[in-house]
Structure 1
């Protein structure tokens, strides 16, 4: 397809396509002559990935570039692509002071291993596991200790919803888009539901159990 057809297929403008090509996010088309280049399905899927991340998540060009570099790395496996998409989705940033070290960190990691075994999750290193371990350590540093039974309750809940809609059967671009947008929307839905649960509990307590809605 021509550049104008590529833009139409992705519901964007030719100017946007040219911009992403100049930025190095979208590979240039295959030259047919001095004035014409053609584009294939890989170009469309990459463009849809870029636009999807921009429209749904508001990702910066830099974060998209970091993800596409992993996708295009022949030595990076599918797990690396998924983790890079998850990292983009949750906006993961390392705190300025680096990893947290807390006296309760070791106990928290032991509790996490117990939870993972109970859930049947592989005892393997991953970016996601490291993030949970660091979150437990940072919580302990400010006096918040997560008990094993609490972690189990959380794991039971997220274990049932964590893979909803997860599809890794398409191209790496399609997989990255699905994981990134799915993780972004699901994580925010979970946080919003948590807020709703806490607010509802507070309303019930403050009202003494009396109905608070319209008559």
Structure 2
């Protein structure tokens, strides 16, 4: 296909595609003559992946190059691509696995995994949870193992359904794109539900104290 069709298929302007080729995040096409190159479905899928990385994650050229280099590695597996996407989405510091400051939170994560027979060590998600636990504790929201188990009880059934919905098939670029979109969407959903629960708890407390009327902030009738 010509560059103009690649632009149509990917939803990216030709000038942007040319820039991505110049900086090395989109592979060049196959030259047909001095001025014309041809492109394939692989270019479409890579361009769509870059759009997600740019628009949903505000990724730098360097970060995009790092992820796509792994995707393009010979023999890369679907699990490796998914782990790389989780690492990208979580933005976990590289020293989480060894820094003594995180030791308590690493062990709490490992115990959760042992109790639930969750596999994924070593991995981005495991390290991401240790980092998240450390961050929460640093602002006075320490989460003990019982609380983690309660979260896991709610989330584990959803995870299975999410994996089925995503599907393991497709090119590495397409798998990465779907994975990154899903992580972003699910994170926003969970934060929104948590925010709604906290808002409801605050309203309930105000009502119980007598600081607000009993019908405050009720949703519309069905």
Q: Same fold (TM over 0.5)?
A: yes
The structure-2 alpha-carbon separation of the partners of 1:17 and 1:118, relative to structure 1 and needing over 3 Å to count, comes to same
Counterpart in 1 of 2:216? 212
CA shift for structure 1 position 140: 5.5
1:60-115 Cα deviation digits (max 9, x unpaired):
322222211111122543323212212222343468xx93526xx44x55543343
Structure 1 residues 213 and 150: alpha-carbon distance in aligned structure 2, compared to 1, 3 A threshold:
closer
On the 8 A contact 1:7/1:14 being kept in 2, the answer is: yes
**Cα deviation per residue 1:153-189 (whole Å; 9 max; x = unaligned)?**
1112222233513322111000111111110121122
Aligned position for 1:4:
4
Cα distance change on mapping 1:20 and 1:213 into 2, 3 Å:
same
Change (3 A) 1:90 1:148: closer
**Contact kept? 1:100, 1:134, Cα under 8 Å:** no
Rounded to whole Å, the distance in 2 between the matches of 1:152 and 1:64 is 35
Please give the per-residue CA displacement for 1:119-175, whole angstroms capped at 9, x wherever unaligned. 331263212112223444565677655332111011122222335133221110001
Counterpart of 1:37?
Answer: 37
Distance 2:174 2:66 in 1: 16
Higher alpha-carbon deviation: 60-69 or 135-144: 135-144
Cα contact 1:100–1:137 (8 A) shared by 2: no
Q: TM-score, normalised by structure 2?
A: 0.81
| Structure 1 stretches of at least 4 aligned residues deviating more than 4 Å after TM superposition | 108-111, 137-145
Superposition pairs for residues 125-140 of structure 1, below 5 Å?
Answer: 125-137=122-134
* 1:67-78 matched pairs, under 5 angstroms: 67-74=67-74, 76-78=76-78
Determine which of 157, 173, 186 is the counterpart of 1:160: 157
TM-score (norm. length: structure 1):
0.84
Counterpart secondary structure, 2:35: coil
Q: For residues 26-75 of structure 1, what are the alpha-carbon distances to aligned partners after superposition, in whole Å with 9 as ceiling and x for unaligned? A: 11111112222111111111111112222333333222222111111225
What do you get for the CA RMSD once the two structures are aligned? 2.8
1:1-150 counterparts in 2 under 5 A?
A: 1-74=1-74, 76-93=76-93, 99=99, 101=101, 105-106=103-104, 108-122=105-119, 124-137=121-134, 145-150=142-147
Of Structure 1 and Structure 2, which has the larger fraction of its residues in helix?
Answer: 2
- Following superposition, the deviation at residue 3 of structure 1 comes to 0.8
Name the CA shift for 1:84/1:174 in 2 (closer, same or farther; >3 Å): same
**Matched residue SS, 2:92:** coil
Q: Conserved in 2, the CA contact under 8 Å of 1:71 and 1:81? A: yes
